[in-house]
Structure 1
Amino acid sequence: MTKDMDIDFKVNSPLGTEQFIGLLVGSTLGERRPVNDSVCMQGMLDNANLIVSAWQGDQLVGIARSMTDFHYACYLSDLAVHENYQKLGIGKRLQALTQEQLGPLCKLILIAAPAANGYYEQLGYSHNDRCWVKEQATGV
């Protein structure tokens, strides 16, 4: 892929569950998401209130999926760019467009995959070791 390709960025544009799953699988984020559970994946799309997507024609090539109050906190749950489109600035643009939708005091919060720590640091994110995650109990 070349940097002169036409990528269209859209805010809260409809997209299908299969498109979303295909992108996650093609970006390796699918390794850490329930891509075999289409009900869960559809719920992830339906209940996000801010989705910025990147398209080449009708192909979804990137996504920033968030839940936010638009004023104080925005949890960027999924940032994914298809492997064939990485290192072209698409992820950086998805984050910038996400921030443009938010109020001036709103913090962008995410949990990074260990291999991505250096990426976020170079974009101006600060590391916070106070994050806690509680998984749902299974078999209860």
Structure 2
Amino acid sequence: MNIEYSYEKRPTTEQIIELYDNTGLPRPTYDKERIQKMFENSNLIVTAWDNNLLVGISRSITDWVWSCYLSDLAVRNDYKKRGIGRKLINLTKSKVSEQSMILLLSVPTALEYYPKVGFKKQKSSFIIERAEWKIHQ
């Protein structure tokens, strides 16, 4: 398996939606326009490809010198436990440099993963929740 990582290669919105649905990442994948805007407004995206198949993605918003919010980290289910998520995190970190911290909000199913790849759990976080989106079946 030869995974290609890229800062430049951009997936289509359909490829992103398919990846998120595959991973179970709770994103509004029924709303193509919203997913598209999420990516258009992100300024650091790293992708992982197995030929033309999108197998992983890291999507961040950063100022490049102080903080980087890792908004999404997703790896296709049948590609997990191969170091792809760790590599996407490392490529994100190398792009923003040592001056910047990386922070994220974890989905409950990944709470045990992030300490294994170098994140420290914080107790000083606060959030104003978004309005709940309606899930369309």
State the match for 1:15 in structure 2: 11
**Where does residue 108 of structure 2 map in the other structure?**
114
Report deviation, 1:131. Answer: 1.5
Please point out which of 66, 83, 89 is paired with 2:83. 89
Report runs of 4+ in structure 1 exceeding 2 Å deviation. 135-138
- Structure 2: state its 5+ residue gaps: 133-137
Deviation digits for residues 76-124 of structure 1, max 9, x if unmatched? 0000000010010000000000001012110010011122111111122
The count of corresponding residues between Structure 1 and Structure 2 is 132
**TM-score under structure 1 normalisation?**
0.90
The amino acid that maps onto 2:118 is: G
- State the match for 2:135 in structure 1: none
Relative to 1, partners in 2 of residues 1:109 and 1:12: Cα closer, same or farther, differing over 3 Å? farther
**Contact preservation (8 Å) 1:72, 1:103:** no
Question: Is 2:64–2:97's contact at 8 Å kept on the other side of the alignment?
Answer: yes
CA distance in 1, matches of 2:56, 2:65: 25
Contact map agreement 1:64 1:98 (CA 8 A) in 2:
yes
> Which residue identity is paired with 1:71?
V
Alignment partner of 1:62: what SS?
A: strand
The equivalences for 1:35-114 within 5 A come to: 35-114=29-108
Ranges in structure 1 where 5+ consecutive residues have no aligned partner: none
Q: Which one is further off, 118-127 or 46-55?
A: 118-127
Verify the 8 A CA contact 2:58 2:88 in the aligned structure 1: yes
Report the Cα offset of residue 137 of structure 1: 4.9
